[in-house]
Structure 1
Amino acid sequence: METKILRFILGIFFIIFAFIIVTSSFYTVESGEQVIIERLGEKVKLVKDAGIKFKIPIIDRIIKVQTEALRTIQYGYIATEKPTTKKTATYEDVAEEAIILTKGSYLINVEAMIQYKILDAADYIYNVDDQLGTIRLAFESVLRRNVQNKDLDDALLNKERISSEVLPELVKKTKSYGLGIEIKSLKIQNITVPSNVKAAYDDVNNAINEKTELLDKANRYKNEKLPGARAKAYKLIQDAEAYKAEKVSQAKGDVENFVQVYEKYKVAKDITKTRLYLETMEKILTKVKNKYIIDSSNDNVIKYLPINPKSITPVKEAQ
């Protein structure tokens, strides 16, 4: 009787053991996941195809990794509460991580979000010890190298451009680490000035705005006055050119006239001399108001005849 009971118990144990062996010999690979097979602690196989697969029971261990899931890394902040239907998510800044130096050693806070998928589960699990930390450090390295060459205003106003510049560098760097991931998106959400230096930044920004306003005002004044000044200068130049042309023409005429007179003078010196004298006297006397004719005879009495038209009284006709 005892033998039968013992056999029955052993049979039950055998059935249970056989069930465990059979059930542990097979596993399922779902769509959107990869399975790593470890044998005695060592990786022996990576299974990517979906379906029911076989493994050595007890000795082999499986590690399932979701590869279609979109994973998110937050940089410069953390979510303290997840969003619900009744309220939005709440976040907390991570100041020691967010602070970056720009060109000129100005401080800024950068908050970013990285999203990625796993391409190769084995590379992701075995090539680095801290996957999230490695991705975070790779992003920080690329970001710092990019921002340190930008002016403060450039960094504050161009977060989208910085995101587009950093993304390909981050992809290249994570590939060099053999992380087995694909970076799907990188979004720099906020770039701000730290609160402890914001007041000083605002003062500088106000001064820059005031300078810009004064420069605009000066340019408007220049644009108003410059056309008039240019027109006036142009007119002066034109007047000067006209005066120059007039004087040159007059000088040429005088020279030609002198040459003609000189030619005549060489032919008849006395006649030409007398004619020049008379022409000169004609020009002079027409400008003189009072004219007198003086007799230059040798007697001691000076005789002169006034010929000023104003001193002549007209004679009335006899009635």
Structure 2
Amino acid sequence: MSNHDQQPPWGSKKKPQTPEEMVAQIIKKLQDFFSDHKKPPGGGDDGDKPQKSFNPFSGIGKILAVVLVILVFQGVMSSIYKITPGEVGVILRLGKYNKTTEPGLHLKIPYFDKLFKVDVESIRKEEFGFRQTSPGQRSSFARGEYEHESLMLTADKNVINVAWIVQYRVNNPGNFLFMVKDVRQAIRDLSEATTRRIVGNMDFDYVLSNRDLLAMSVKNELQAQLNNIRAGVGIGTVQFQDINPPEPVKPAFNEVNEADQDMKRLVNQAEEQYNKVIPKARGQAKQIIEESYGYAAKRVNNAKGETGRFLDILAEYANAPDVTRKRMYLETMQEIIPTVRSVYVLDKNQQTPIPLLNLSGDKGLDFSTPQNDNQQRTK
């Protein structure tokens, strides 16, 4: 038997494809079931049948039944919910916090549980002193109408223009939803108050040259205040975009800044010269000191050596005076004679010395002619 033969004689009905079509079909069936105007089978005459009495509550019952079916259907459909990645679901049961659900399909009790979806992955941003009008590689910003947020007074009574960004993320969905009515406005108010107080305790030049330290201080204090009010957010970054003097005083400020740069340049040049000369002078002084230590050690060691040699000679002299005296004489002559160029013979009766022997080695021996043979002696 084919599939066509197995179908019912009245044919197959098209099934509804969507929940709306399903609800419409159920309502239609209920209307047909509770209808008072059903046609009699076979097309007989209505006059042969007894007339039904009118019941005013029969229509209300039908309406209540239809409403009940719709409520049940809606309850079944609303009991299933989906949490997308990056979100969490916060369930309130009869107005009281019940649980927090992670991404995926979940069930809840219809008409008793209320669902709030919170994005916990996206980074939210608040801008102060400017607004980004067209994001992208060539972003444009609007500043003029937001100067009331950026103008601040420093500790040295100067006015400064500060623009910054606060980035944050939800870290406690329950507190984010129910503890603070407007978390965004709370972050703006607390961030502006914290930044003004910190900048107000710093000098103008310090704020200009220490924006990283300023951003860290604002981030820590802002996070502490948000934790105190249980806002349910965590500060990711506090970044100062622009720190400048106001427009009317910018030319004077630029002149002062140029003078400050010149001063720093001169200071750097002086330090460079200092680093060239002073270490060299210190090295030379240390070298002289070390050489003096070496010279002192050398003189002391030489003196000690001479003293020891003298004492040794003295001891030998005490044992053998004649031998020691002759040996000392010969050693002295051995050192002196190689350096002698001329030999003179001196006589007590001679008024001038007479050269006797030329030992220079240039012309050999050169004996002088004696004036008096009796006076000439050779030594």
Q: TM-score range, shorter-chain basis?
A: 0.5 to 0.7
- CA–CA distance in structure 2, aligned partners of residues 63 and 3 of structure 1: 45
| Offset of residue 57 of structure 1 | 2.1
The two structures have a TM-score, normalised by structure 2, of 0.49
The partner residue of 2:113 within 60, 71, 79 is 60
Contact 2:90 2:100 in 1 (8 A): yes
Shift of 1:215: 8.2
Matches within 5 A, 1:136-285: 136-206=188-258, 208=260
Q: Which residue matches 2:170?
A: 118
Residue deviations 1:54-102 (CA, integer Å, cap 9, x gap): 333234331111111111111211122343xxx7332112100011211
Residue 200 of structure 1: CA displacement? Answer: 3.4
Whole-angstrom CA distance in 2 between matches of 1:199 and 1:121:
49
**Do the aligned partners of residues 81 and 201 (structure 1) sit closer, same or farther apart at CA in structure 2, a change above 3 Å counting?**
same
Q: Percent identical across equivalent pairs?
A: 28
**Residue 214 and residue 27 in structure 1: after superposition, are their counterparts in 2 closer, same or farther (change >3 A)?**
closer
1:30 aligns with 2:84: yes
Equivalent residue, structure 1, for 2:46: none
Deviation at 1:118, TM superposition (A): 0.6
The aligned amino acid for 2:203 is: D
CA contact (8 A) 2:128 2:165 kept: yes
CA change 1:105–1:134 in 2 (3 A) is same
Q: How many residues align?
A: 219
Greater relative contact order (CA < 8 Å, ≥ 6 in sequence) = 1
Aligned to 2:140: 90
Asked if 1:2 corresponds to 2:38, the answer is no
Once residues 215 and 113 of structure 1 are traced to their aligned partners in structure 2, the CA distance between those partners, rounded to angstroms, is: 36
Aligned counterparts of 1:20 and 1:34: Cα–Cα separation in 2 = 23
What's the C-alpha RMSD, in Å, of the aligned pairs?
3.4
Is the 1:171–1:182 contact (alpha carbons within 8 Å) kept by the matching residues of 2? Answer: yes
Local SS of the residue matching 1:169: helix
Report what 2:153 is aligned to. Answer: 101
Which structure: larger Rg? 2
Contact 1:33 1:48 in 2 (8 A): no
Per the alignment, residue 230 of structure 1 pairs with none
Report the TM-score, using the length of structure 1 for normalisation.
Answer: 0.58
Partner of 1:130: 182
Distance 1:13 1:197, change over 3 A: same
Deviation of the 1:137 alpha carbon = 2.1
Pairwise CA distance, 1:114:
1.4
Partner of 2:72: 18
Farther off after superposition, 206-215 or 114-123: 206-215
1:103–1:148 contact (8 Å) kept in structure 2? yes
1:2 partner amino acid = S
Distance 1:14 1:134, change over 3 A: closer
Residue 78 of structure 1 is matched in structure 2 by: 131
Q: Which runs of 5+ in 1 are unaligned?
A: 228-319
Q: Secondary structure at the match of 2:187?
A: helix
Q: Give the strand-richer structure, 1 or 2.
A: 1
The answer to whether the 8 Å contact 2:92/2:99 transfers is no
- Cα shift at 1:133: 1.6
1:45 match: 98
Q: Is the 8 A contact 2:150 2:161 kept in 1?
A: yes
Do the aligned residues in 2 keep the contact of 1:34 with 1:46 (CA within 8 Å)? no
